[in-house]
Amino acid sequence: MTKPAILVARAIFPETLARLAVHFELTTNDADQVWSKPELVERLRGKAGALTTGSERIDAEVVAASPGLRVVANMAVGYNNFDVDALTRAGVLATNTPDVLTETTADFGFALLMATARRITESERYLRRGEWNKWRYDMFTGPDVNGATLGILGMGRIGQAIARRGAHGFGMPVIYHNRSRLDAASEAACKARYVDKDTLFREADHVVLVLPYSASSHHAVGAAELALMKPTATLVNVARGGIVDDAALAQALREGRIAAAGLDVFEGEPQVHPDLLALKNVVLTPHIASASTPTRRAMAELAADNLIDFFTLGRARTPLNPQVLDRGGR
């Protein structure tokens, strides 16, 4: 029996490739190139499925040019690289990898908050340049984390995990805003209080962004929101680029209207707004919030599980558009 043809769009763990090879004829990207849209379309020709990452945009044009495509499995919890509506209309199943990266991403989000508030990367650069020659009472002072008010915009799994770290580990009052309010039990577990968006930006000492990216959340944090923040406050983004207006943020940081920012994601990444690169009071990391080895393995394995289950059992573990399964797909 002929195995389904699958494209693995980026380099992944060899063990995961070996599992997939049992079930599929694989086309891989061992050089780990980031393909243009025409290159991606060319490589999808004749493929029944694909394992993708956030760098592969599967939009209506790509779907239309790939008539044999039946399933795309994203090795990420975010899926703003998928046009889910176009995939659904075409009868193509889309999947992602939720849950397996929640705690690791929350760890990193809190680490980025700490690094931002306590000016860790700025002080390390100072030390490495050989400029440290004496102690001074105000050298690299910053705001406290312990006991400070933590504001979380987007209170899904990762937001709740960050809230628990702040409330239980650092004695932080937690406020949050979300499209829908959590149930009472979830709020109690996080020790979190629901507020409107403007109140969150006015009251929080540290704002952490963990909301999904969509057209409605594009530039959810811009000049107006930044103007509400305390001049001693920090902003951390471990969600998606495009949620923050990076140009407006750079201006607020440059003018001292907020104290500092920690960013793991950017508009147009891997490019970073040049104004951000020029600032001292911003911590920049290259989209690595989920980058523990066990978690990245779990993400790859879940993406593989979704492909294997789809072709062997007619289902998927974490579908984004399960209605495709209900009507039989392509």
> Which stretches within the chain are classed as H helix?
14-23, 37-44, 60-64, 84-90, 102-117, 120-128, 157-164, 170, 184-190, 197-203, 223-228, 246-254, 274-277, 293-313, 323-326
- Active-site entry in 240, 273, 296, 301: 240
Contacts of 30 (CB under 8 A, 6+ apart): 11
Give the span between the Cα atoms of 300 and 249, in whole angstroms.
Answer: 33
Asked whether the beta carbons of 165 and 141 are under 8 A apart, the reply is: no
Q: Is 10 a catalytic residue?
A: no
Q: Is 287 a catalytic residue?
A: yes
Q: Is 219 a catalytic residue?
A: no
Give the span between the Cα atoms of 255 and 263, in whole angstroms.
Answer: 18
- Active-site entry in 10, 43, 118, 287: 287
> Tokens at residue 69, please?
């495509």
- Active-site entry in 25, 103, 267, 269: 269
Asked whether the beta carbons of 58 and 76 are under 8 A apart, the reply is: no
Number of neighbours of residue 205 by Cβ within 10 angstroms:
21
**Closest of 63, 170, 192, 176 to residue 117, by C-alpha:** 170
Give the span between the Cα atoms of 23 and 2, in whole angstroms.
Answer: 10
Query: How large is the greatest C-alpha to C-alpha distance in the chain, in angstroms?
Result: 74
Exposed, middle or buried: residue 38 (CB in 10 Å: 0-12, 13-18, 19+)?
Answer: exposed
**Beta-sheet pairing, 49-52 with 150-153:** unpaired
Cα atoms in the Cβ-side hemisphere of radius 13 Å centred on 3 = 13
For residue 296, what are the CA distances in angstroms to 167, 227, 269?
A: 27, 37, 20
Taking phi first (over 0 means left), then psi (-120 to 50 degrees means alpha), and beta for anything else, what does residue 86 get?
alpha
Active site residues: 240, 269, 287
